[in-house]
């Protein structure tokens, strides 16, 4: 991830030319020495390492596109439920934390009464990370759900359930035929069995 600093040197008006910090776009002389910048850069490095490891060891999975969409919807719905609970917990404990967060820590910037300097935590009106994660998960859930509906996933699931129900009904019909049912009882099997199977599927 090594790259040159993207800042322009004030003295020359030319690109800085120094190496940027790992995961960042500037060198320490041009803003990358700030704690919040270092933290974000470290996060990018960790994410890139994780992605590289995934690309190295992940194997292709044979999966139906419709099932892939359904899995995305289900997993993301779980994310939404988790972050919604976290936001509710934070709001119940201290609602102000949802809108005001510490964004940086400045060392030796606040003058003291006796001439010394003290560290200062900078707090700004920005959404709490849990709230940001919730809104992101909700947006992704809406996108995946819409894609699943456009792909006709629900229709396919219904059709598959009906086909399975018909197959099971056929097997049950053969079993009941061997039991030597009366004619009117045998005729009801093809109607009753699929109805009960669909009711069972809806209940599950």
117 lies in the same domain as 51: no
pLDDT at position 169: 66
The mean pLDDT of the chain is 76
pTM: 0.48
Q: Among the three residues 59, 74, 104, which one is the final residue of a domain in this structure? A: 59
Q: Give the total number of structural domains in the chain.
A: 3
Given 20, 37, 59, the domain boundary residue is 59
Long-range CB contacts (< 8 A, 24+ apart) of 128-133? 128/87, 128/90, 128/97, 128/98, 128/99, 128/101, 129/101, 130/83, 130/86, 130/87, 130/90, 130/98, 131/87, 131/98, 133/79, 133/83, 133/86
Q: What angle do CA 44, 45, 47 make, to 5 degrees?
A: 65
Full domain range(s) for residue 177:
155-203
Q: Let me know whether 147 and 190 are in one domain.
A: no
Residue 48 pLDDT class (50, 70, 90 cuts): confident
Residues 147 and 82 in one domain: yes
Reported as a single tens digit per residue, the pLDDT across 98-153 is 665 555 545 555 555 555 555 555 555 667 777 888 888 899 999 998 888 888 77
Owner of token pair 């020495």: 33
8-22 confidence digits (pLDDT tens): 887 788 888 888 888
């Amino acid at each position: 991830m090594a790259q040159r600093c993207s800042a322009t040197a004030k003295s020359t008006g030319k690109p800085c030319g120094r190496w940027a910090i790992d995961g960042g776009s500037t060198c320490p002389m041009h803003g990358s020495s700030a704690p919040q910048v270092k933290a974000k850069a470290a996060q990018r490095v960790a994410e890139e390492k994780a992605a590289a490891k995934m690309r190295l060891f992940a194997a292709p999975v044979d999966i139906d596109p419709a099932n892939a969409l359904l899995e995305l919807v289900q997993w993301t719905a779980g994310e939404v439920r988790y972050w919604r609970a976290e936001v509710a917990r934070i709001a119940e404990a201290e609602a102000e934390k949802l809108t005001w967060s510490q964004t940086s820590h400045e060392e030796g910037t606040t003058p003291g009464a006796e001439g010394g300097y003290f560290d200062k935590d900078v707090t700004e009106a920005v959404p709490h990370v849990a709230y940001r994660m919730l809104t992101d998960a909700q947006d992704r859930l809406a996108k995946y759900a819409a894609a699943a509906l456009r792909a006709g996933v629900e229709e396919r699931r219904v059709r598959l359930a009906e086909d399975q129900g018909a197959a099971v009904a056929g097997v049950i019909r053969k079993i009941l035929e061997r039991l030597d049912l009366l004619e009117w009882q045998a005729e009801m099997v093809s109607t009753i069995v699929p109805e009960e199977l669909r009711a069972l599927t809806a209940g599950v």
